[in-house]
Amino acid sequence: MKKVLTIKLLLVLTLAVTAVGCKRSSSSNSSRATGWDINSKDGGFQYNTSFKGQEAGPGLVFVEGGTFTMGRVQDDVMHDWNNTPNQQHVQSFYMDETEVTNLMYLEYLDWIKRIYPPIEDNFKAIYDGVLPDTLVWRNRLGYNEVMTENYLRHPGYAEYPVVGVSWIQAVEFANWRSDRVNESNLEDAGYIQRDAKLNDVSADATFNTDTYINAPSQVYGGNTALTDPANTRRRVQTNAAGDQINVNATRETGIISPKYRLPTEAEWEYAALGLTSIRSYNVYRGRKKYPWDGQYTRSGKRKIRGDQMANFKQGKGDYGGIAGWSDDGADITNAVKSYEPNDFGLYDMAGNVAEWVADVYRPIVDDEFSDFNYYRGNVYTKNELNEDGTVRIVTPDEIKFDTLPNGKVVARNLPGEIHQVPVDENETYLRTNFDTSDNRNFRDGDKRSSRDYRDGFSEDEEGTDATHTSVMYNSPKHNVELDSAGQLIREYDRSDKRTSLINDEVRVYKGGSWKDREYWLDPAQRRYFPQNMATDYIGFRCAMSRVGSKSENKNKSKN
């Protein structure tokens, strides 16, 4: 009898627990603001209430954010005084496991060539503008033609980091990658017809993430059949009135990933250091000179003791040791993943190639104004609207090209994208956090602080932001223009009064390379280079912001 009663009590308790669990699970689909149903089959507010967390995009690894000391931790033997230590905090983000390789970049070139055939006059400059500069390998007193002819495309270099890519080209690659990844995500989720990305694209019918979010009927050149649920694998949902709902993915679905981009300087340095190995509770015990533990470039681990941890120049005339006993296994660049990763699982954060980051270069990091997600280079834009309030989409006839100071022509926008215009007073009026579109030279100093303070400055001579920057740093002003016959005229600034190479078009690059000595392997070191130029020792990798929780471990202690 007692046994029967025990079983009955257990059944009652089980049912009670189940009922409570069901009530709790269903409460996520009930608004805590109004009590109305969310995701009701009858229509109304639709939202992904079962979102489990952001997944890492292709090629990315998770980097949990935190506070760290940004800047040098060793002697400033170069006397640059451009990386004074300062405390910064970065949010969690994702970063490419390796540098972008030749194989990855060739996939990009193949797509551009297929969609915008360079044999057509209107598209020739698009393809030419994304091609890496293979001539960067040439040396007046060196024979490097084998790299000039083979490094980018030969299978032997497929997994080597791409070089000869300017900062502008790196940004365009990241934008293209964002669209291709989101296009694939939407196809996998059944919002886009399968294989549309291969069979139904052309110059006037491409996918763009921003266009899909703001005007989904305009992607693929307005071919709505490719996004119609009747032609995809998604089950058509209707409300009580028989109208289709959830036809297109939105930000609320959680399917659309944040954009790939270049990492900021603070993010790159934080990720390169990989400080988790010296963390003790909520304190860093000591400091790190390199992405690995220790004060030397050789490994102290028993299994690989004595091996070099990075690819760099060993000494004068020594790029990799003697035959049969190579110090670092390479004389130029090396295949990615040839060396041990750091504590975040990132490869080649020191050596192989230096890497572009997003920031505009200035000699100081203005930590007095910002110590959170520090970044110099913000240029705020907004979608251009038609008279009827819809976004204006770029057509093949509206492609705009920029002629760079070195004469190279690059596309400023591509068909299928949304026209962008600078933010204006409608967005900045009575704001306290920003008041202009271009913030690259924000808090740059004043004219009287420059070396040329005697040269006729007046109190009311403000000029434009660009003028202010060029006067503040007095950098060269090269001129590129077209004559009446359409011929390109390039004038090199030969003035002997220039005092700086710094302007709003120079970008920071970080890390050492196969051409650099050990000093530059320190993640704190910073250098700069014009954003429109390329070298044989600068590559790049992409990053992606994390949305939601700081940590992937939701049960992490908060002490």
pLDDT of residue 446: 60
Position 463 confidence tier, pLDDT thresholds 50, 70, 90: very low
Residue 23 pLDDT class (50, 70, 90 cuts): very low
Question: Is the per-residue pLDDT at 559 higher than 70?
Answer: no
Residue of 175 and 309 predicted with greater confidence = 175
pLDDT at residue 459, rounded to an integer:
42
Q: Would you state the pLDDT for residue 306?
A: 78
Percent of the chain with pLDDT over 70: 88
Three-state SS annotation for 95-148: EECCCCEHHHHHHHHHHHHHHCCCCCCCCHHHHHHHCCCHHHHCECCECCHHHH
pLDDT of residue 530: 96
Residue 283's alpha-carbon distances to 91, 277, 278, 549, 559, in angstroms, are 18, 11, 8, 21, 12
Residue 45: its pLDDT value, please?
Answer: 87
pLDDT of residue 309: 87
Task: Say if residue 467's pLDDT is above 70.
Answer: no
Q: What is the pLDDT of residues 400-415, one digit of tens each?
A: 999 888 888 999 999 9
**How does residue 435 score in pLDDT terms, banded at 50, 70 and 90?**
very high
pLDDT > 60? residue 20: no
**Residue from 113, 107, 145 nearest 129 by CA:** 113
Pick the range with the lowest mean pLDDT from 61-65, 116-120, 490-494: 490-494
pLDDT band, residue 287 (cuts 50/70/90): confident
pLDDT given at position 4: 55
Torsion sign across C-alpha atoms 537, 540, 541, 546 = positive
Q: Are 330 and 514 in contact (CB under 8 A)?
A: yes
Q: Residue 327's pLDDT is what?
A: 82
Residues contacting 555, CB < 8 A, separation 6+: none
pLDDT at residue 3, as a whole number: 58
Q: What is the pLDDT of residues 418-429, one digit of tens each?
A: 999 999 999 999
| Domain-wise residue ranges, the chain | 58-79+91-178+256-371+511-552
* Tens-place pLDDT, residues 207-238: 999 999 999 999 999 999 998 887 777 766 77
The span from the CA of 428 to the CA of 522, in Å, is 40
pLDDT at 302: 80
- Taking the C-alpha atoms of residue 127 and residue 112, their distance in angstroms, rounded to an integer, is 6
What is the model's pLDDT at position 465?
A: 45
For the domain made up of 58-79+91-178+256-371+511-552, give the CATH fold: paralog of FGE (formylglycine-generating enzyme) (3.90.1580)
| Tokens linked to 100 | 């972008």
Tokens of 260: 């790939």
Split at pLDDT 50, 70, 90, the class of 42 is confident
Please list, residue by residue across 488-519, b when 16 or more beta carbons sit within 10 angstroms of its beta carbon and e when fewer do: eeeeeeeeeeeeeebbbbbbbbbbbbbbbebe
> Is-above-0.85 flag for pTM?
yes
pLDDT at 21 over 90: no
- Higher local confidence (pLDDT), 468 or 488: 488
| More confident position, 477 or 433 | 433
**Average pLDDT over every residue of 382-391:** 95
Three-state SS for 56? coil
Q: What is the CA radius of gyration of the chain?
A: 27
Cα 214 from Cα 391, distance rounded (Å): 7
Query: What mean pLDDT, rounded, does the chain reach?
Result: 88
Q: How far is CA 123 from CA 172, 393, 413, in A?
A: 16, 18, 12
